[in-house]
Structure 1
Amino acid sequence: MSERTTPARRLTAVVAVVGVVALGAAACGGTTKNSSSKDSSSAPTAASTASADPGAPLKKGLTIAYLPKAVNNPYFTTSDTGGRKAVEAAGSTYKEVGTSSSTDTAGQVSYVNTLTQQRVDAIAVSAQDPGALCTALNQARKNGVKVVTYDSDTNAGCRDVFISQASSEDLGRTEVQLMAEQIGNKGRIAILSAAQTATNQNTWIGFMKDELKKPQYKDIQLVKVAYGNDDAQTSFQQTQGLLQQYPDLKGIISPTTVGIKAAAQYLSGSKYKGKVQLTGLGTPNDMRAYVADGTVRSFELWDPAKLGALAAHTAIALVSGRITGAPGQTYTAGDMGTFTIGQDSTVVLGKPTVFDKSTIGQFNF
């Protein structure tokens, strides 16, 4: 497996974000905080084996490696570019490696093993599967490598800190709220997700289903969760299939940047344009044309570049000993401000941002 080194903004309700459709991008196919359980094979957490020194100098000359879910995914290109800029500004070396498929878990494991052998100082990884990387990541940690997950988490015992795009609950519930408003709280809806194993997708969908249990949504029926595997063509075909199977469908929620763009592409050229509502997580640049032509009213997301940058600052703070990953610890992430580590060693980037015709022009990512 060859190693790829690539030189390599915020929204709300977006996801996960940089675009896709005919190209095959995809983010949001990963994770937000999913109260993942500790893995039974996990190594002792950094927080339990070391004490933090908030005043420790930030180390320079480190090597911080990024392992996204897929290297050819525009969302991760944006997030990892943000990471590269933060790493290099801090006086360290950035590298990116990874597979071209967001479902190649064996490939991700192989890259973790290689990075461990190369003795990198920290790995920032967006996990394709919550448990598949655990053994390899904990071996890396035993060898002194700090592990930060971003966008999509592993089990909590398999990394030091998880950088979550936004609260999983905020993301899941707000997507239902946006859809309900668009269809007048009545009708059949479907969800177009990424991979069936994507931690963040499943966590968000769990909160969507919980939100739909509220009395005000009694006339909304979730008929199906379809999976486009964060692939543009597959997501396009799944959208087509949903409308063939449920011709009375009123709306589709797609919490993945690849999926929402592919669905918008299909709807914009079909008889369902303006009749079937679409929302979810996407990037302004991907969705701009579809908002302009009326295919999409509103969607949300976060800034992926800031997500990648926060992962970098967090990794450097871990390696420098300023934090260990223990809940309650605080640290400064460059000019991004101060962040506090929460439950399950999770750091939340911020609230999701809603994009519509009146606001989308203010953003460029």
Structure 2
Amino acid sequence: MHTSFKKTLALSLLGIALAAPAVAQDKPKVAFVPQLIGIPYFNAMEAGGKKAADELGVEFIYSGPVDTNPVDQLQIVQNLIDQGVNAVAVSVLDASAIAPVVEAAKAKGAKLFTSDSDAPDSGRAVYVAQATDEGLGATIIDELVKRVGEDAKIGIVSGEATASNLNAWIGFMQKQAKERYPKLTLLEPQFAGGTAQRAAQIAGDLMTANPDIKGIIAVASSTCPGVAQAIETAGKTGSVVGTGYCSPNTARAYLKSGSFGFSVLWDPAQLGYLTVWAGKQLIDGKTFEAENSVPGFAKPVTYNAETGVLLLGPPAVFTADNVDQFDF
């Protein structure tokens, strides 16, 4: 009886051991590779991705470069593909370099898609967009003109020069200025990479070289603190209006001090959630509809089959009056 029990137990344990890897393999893996780790914006996307993974039954992997280096980013993406991750989303740093990695993913049976920053000509499976590039570019110009006037001089401090999303927003800022505010002067964009310190230096130089400047736009979330601090350091709070694409938590102190008049963004946690949801749809072989019902979203998420863009929604404007209603 004792021997029989031991045999039964051994067989049971063997069965568990054999079954365990199969269960682990059955759980699809969705990864997101940000432009940069360790900043509030992408931290919020990570949190949204984790929430989606828990609710949708997938394993979520978050891995990205420690600085805005396109080569490092693409290596991380390639490593994830080589490890057998089923779907990999990337906030693209260099749109011109990602197409071969998309092909490598296809060869492995993986789905490579973009989120937050696109590479439209790369063959990516879908682009999970936070808002339309045109909407973001037009909104920040319209809101700034309300505060500085239609004939003001405005500086632009961006992040990495190769970031397709940042460049697209700048392009639509320029388009909006040209078409709606012909007297507005937009200075040539300056690029700070991913550091607030470099952004502060550039913003300070812009104010010194252009004493009549009325506004400065921080295009990357990582450049927002630098631009705001430069305005404060120069004693220009109130005479130079800072703004940018930054989260309420990043912008809160600057909105309240007056160095920032407003900021424009969306909810990056929702964007992270939508990214993982889209990855799961791709893994399951499901097609996106013109309107998609996503768990936890109040409104349907739209999809443009022609452009391959899944759209989170319109941009939001945060000010000193409403910033405390948000926490991300």
Same fold (TM over 0.5): yes
Deviations 1:193-244 (A, max 9, x none): 11111101111111111111135x2332112211111211111111111112
In structure 2, how many angstroms separate the alpha carbons of the residues matched to 1:273 and 1:121? 49
The one of 196, 202, 217 equivalent to 2:167 is: 202
In structure 1, how many angstroms separate the alpha carbons of the residues matched to 2:244 and 2:64? 26
In structure 2, how many angstroms separate the alpha carbons of the residues matched to 1:228 and 1:97? 23
Q: Is the Cα contact below 8 Å between 1:161 and 1:346 reproduced in 2?
A: yes
Q: Is the Cα contact below 8 Å between 1:112 and 1:140 reproduced in 2?
A: no
**1:363 has 2:321 as partner:** no
Bigger Rg, structure 1 or 2: 2
The one of 26, 30, 36 equivalent to 1:64 is: 30
In structure 1, how many angstroms separate the alpha carbons of the residues matched to 2:26 and 2:310? 23
Structure 2 counterpart of 1:96: 62
The one of 171, 176, 199 equivalent to 1:211 is: 176
In structure 1, how many angstroms separate the alpha carbons of the residues matched to 2:296 and 2:121? 27
**TM-score, length of structure 1 as denominator length:** 0.79
CA drift at 1:329: 4.8
CA drift at 1:112: 2.0
CA drift at 1:100: 0.5
CA drift at 1:338: 3.3
In structure 2, how many angstroms separate the alpha carbons of the residues matched to 1:153 and 1:313? 17
Higher relative contact order (CA 8 A, sep 6+): 1
Structure 1 counterpart of 2:280: 316
In structure 1, how many angstroms separate the alpha carbons of the residues matched to 2:107 and 2:293? 26
Structure 2 counterpart of 1:284: 248
Q: Is the Cα contact below 8 Å between 1:178 and 1:279 reproduced in 2?
A: no
Q: Secondary structure at the match of 1:144?
A: coil
The 3 A distance-change label for structure 1 pair 322 and 332 is farther
Counting aligned pairs with the same residue, the percent is 31
CA drift at 1:332: 3.0
The 3 A distance-change label for structure 1 pair 291 and 330 is closer
The one of 245, 264, 272 equivalent to 2:228 is: 264
**1:341 has 2:306 as partner:** no
Q: Secondary structure at the match of 1:230?
A: coil
Choose between structure 1 and 2: higher helix proportion.
Answer: 2
Q: Is the Cα contact below 8 Å between 1:108 and 1:133 reproduced in 2?
A: no
**1:74 has 2:36 as partner:** no
Cα RMSD, aligned residues only: 1.7
**1:109 has 2:86 as partner:** no
Q: Secondary structure at the match of 1:312?
A: helix
Q: Which amino acid in 1 is paired with 2:191?
A: Y
Q: Is the Cα contact below 8 Å between 2:129 and 2:309 reproduced in 1?
A: yes
CA drift at 1:330: 4.5
Q: Secondary structure at the match of 2:313?
A: coil
In structure 2, how many angstroms separate the alpha carbons of the residues matched to 1:358 and 1:99? 35
CA drift at 1:60: 6.3
Structure 1: stretches of 5+ with no match in the other structure = 1-58
Structure 2 counterpart of 1:187: 152
Report the count of equivalent residues.
Answer: 302
In structure 1, how many angstroms separate the alpha carbons of the residues matched to 2:78 and 2:115? 19
Q: Is the Cα contact below 8 Å between 1:129 and 1:198 reproduced in 2?
A: yes
Structure 2: stretches of 5+ with no match in the other structure = 1-24
CA drift at 1:159: 1.0
CA drift at 1:315: 0.5
The 3 A distance-change label for structure 1 pair 147 and 338 is farther
Q: Which amino acid in 1 is paired with 2:36?
A: A
Q: Secondary structure at the match of 2:271?
A: helix
